[in-house]
Amino acid sequence: MTAIATEPAPMPHLLGIDDLDTAQVVRILDTAEQLLPIATRERNTVPTLRGKVVCNLFLEDSTRTRISFDLAAKRLSAEVLNFSAKGSSVSKGESFKDTALTLDAMGVDCVVVRSGSSGAPLQLARYLDVPILNAGDGWHQHPTQALLDVFTMRRHLGDLAGRHVVIVGDLLHSRVARSEVQALTLLGAKVSVVAPPTLLPPQVEGWGVELVADLDEVLPDVDVVYLLRVQRERMHRAFFPSSREYSRLWGMDARRLALLGEQAIVMHPGPMNRGVEISGEVADSDRAVITEQVTNGIAVRMACLYLLLAARGGSDAEEAR
């Protein structure tokens, strides 16, 4: 095969991991690897996106994702407009379409959108003629979280082909889990899931994952334990008897940590419920790479912005350095 044939296709938007193929995921991860020194401030900002306007449209609460996108764009020297539902015309009842048309009229070059409604980024991509980056939509997708997670795994474990990841907890309400399984599958990892039966999505059988009944049984075999937050804001009835019961059956604590192989790492997308899905001891242990995930998130989001905005002609990340 020629080099041209293996070149990943340019991405018009980043709406979900299901839009990507393996070559595109690897390209994002490799680009992030090159940008990491800038993300971690070993080097200063680069002028790659000077003159570009990135709009962060956050219609649902977020701390780390919003700050991470903000920093990522600034490290690439873009101008950043932060737009949240509170304090904007959205809270006055302006329709999503009118918000989109207003952004278009202002001449933004890219919109990063977080919304409680699944499909909002896709809708925006239909209204606007600029790259749209999904920063989490409803229960649907959270592609940059999955990408920063596989980036972090790859830094610890090398190639993920044949590696075993167990995802634990509230899969039903989790956009992270959907994106995570797709990204891991594209990279050839084996994925198991453990969850209270009430928090398993009905279609989980079709996800290509192994359903495991007992967390203790799978722990000695895995390279990564990925804990999901118990998403109380999305639970309008009781899905499990109590937080104590949840942590006894599905929480990661010091006893369970001792069951892991010595290479295994513990991950969580944040924000954590300490004492529920993860004990304080585990969260603070050297097996947990949760703060690294946050740092890596800046590099991965820089890579996504770079590939959507600067590398549309297929040039490589060397230009950004």
Give SS3 for 311.
coil
Tally of CB atoms within 10 A around 213: 8
Tally of CB atoms within 10 A around 256: 18
Site membership for ligand NCD, residue 229 (CB under 6 A):
yes
* Annotated active-site residue in 13, 27, 52, 114: 114
HSE value, Cβ hemisphere, 13 Å, CA-based, for 174: 30
Site membership for ligand NCD, residue 116 (CB under 6 A):
no
Site membership for ligand NCD, residue 64 (CB under 6 A):
yes
Beta carbon of residue 101, minimum distance to ligand NCD (angstroms, whole number):
27
* Annotated active-site residue in 31, 65, 99, 144: 65
64 tagged catalytic: yes
Number of residues in the chain:
321
Site membership for ligand NCD, residue 175 (CB under 6 A):
yes
321 tagged catalytic: no
For ligand NCD, the closer of residues 8 and 270 by Cβ is 270
Instruction: Give the whole-angstrom CA distance, residue 101 versus residue 97.
Output: 6
Beta carbon of residue 133, minimum distance to ligand NCD (angstroms, whole number):
13
Tally of CB atoms within 10 A around 191: 23
255 tagged catalytic: no
Site membership for ligand NCD, residue 201 (CB under 6 A):
no
Site membership for ligand NCD, residue 145 (CB under 6 A):
yes
Residue from 15, 28, 36, 176 binding ligand NCD (CB under 6 A): 176
Token couple for 300: 């991965």
Beta carbon of residue 265, minimum distance to ligand NCD (angstroms, whole number):
18
Contact 232, 202 (CB under 8 A): no
Q: Which residues contact 172 (CB under 8 A, 6 or more apart)?
A: 139, 195, 198, 199, 200, 201, 239
Site membership for ligand NCD, residue 142 (CB under 6 A):
yes
Which whole-number Å values give the CA distances from 153 to 48, 107, 150, 263, in the listed order? 27, 37, 5, 11
Site membership for ligand NCD, residue 13 (CB under 6 A):
no
Point out which residues bind ligand NCD (CB under 6 A). Answer: 64-65, 136, 142, 145, 175-176, 229, 231, 269-270
Residues classed as catalytic: 64-65, 92, 114, 142
